[in-house]
Amino acid sequence: MAKKPSNQICANKKARHEYFIEETYEAGLVLEGWEVKSIRAGKMSITESYVIFKNNEAFLFGAHIQPLLTSSTHINPDNIRTRKLLLNRREIDKLYGMVNQKGYAVVALSCYWKHGRVKCEIALAKGKKLHDKRATLKERDFARDKQRGFKNQL
């Protein structure tokens, strides 16, 4: 199993299995104070999250941040609220235009720290059919077996 990088908070491994990734973008994430504390404690999950567009703005929907008991005593935290994504206008317009086409979606791939800020890697993706998923698994297994063969010969 691959080890995650030190600056990575969480990853959506399921997205690469479910979708063909066309383009990736880096977006900032608007968070509240208790959310940042929870993220530092490693209590974030983006497994079922995707991007929605409202009023020419992008929002991350379905990201789950579990509140810490110590940092969220004086507020009423909503752990699955929609969080605003910080993107350039051109990027938002391009993504919005592609989502309106058939078969495209914008999904979150990973979240990570960059210069003390939380960034979210989002991707323009097209859904895979069942036979595409099987082909991907077959290629991955073949590559793994090929690598094992090389290691055994050395």
- Is 137 within a domain? no
What is the reported pTM?
A: 0.78
Handedness of CA 5, 9, 13, 18 (dihedral sign): negative
Average pLDDT, the chain: 85
Q: Tell me, yes or no, whether 36 lies in a domain.
A: yes
How confident is the model at residue 101, as a pLDDT? 81
In a domain, 1, yes or no: no
User: What is the residue range of 99's domain?
Assistant: 6-127
What is the structure's pLDDT at 2? 57
- Residue 44 belongs to some domain of the structure: yes
* pLDDT in the model for residue 1: 46
Q: Is 118 a domain residue? A: yes
Name the domain count of the chain.
1
- Considering the domain boundaries, does residue 16 fall inside one? yes
* CATH label of the domain that carries residue 71: 2.40.280.10
Percentage with pLDDT > 90 across the chain: 38
Residue 65 falls within a domain, yes or no?
yes
3 pLDDT band, cuts 50/70/90, is low
Res. 81 pLDDT band, cuts 50 70 90 = confident
Query: CA Rg, the chain, in Å?
Result: 18
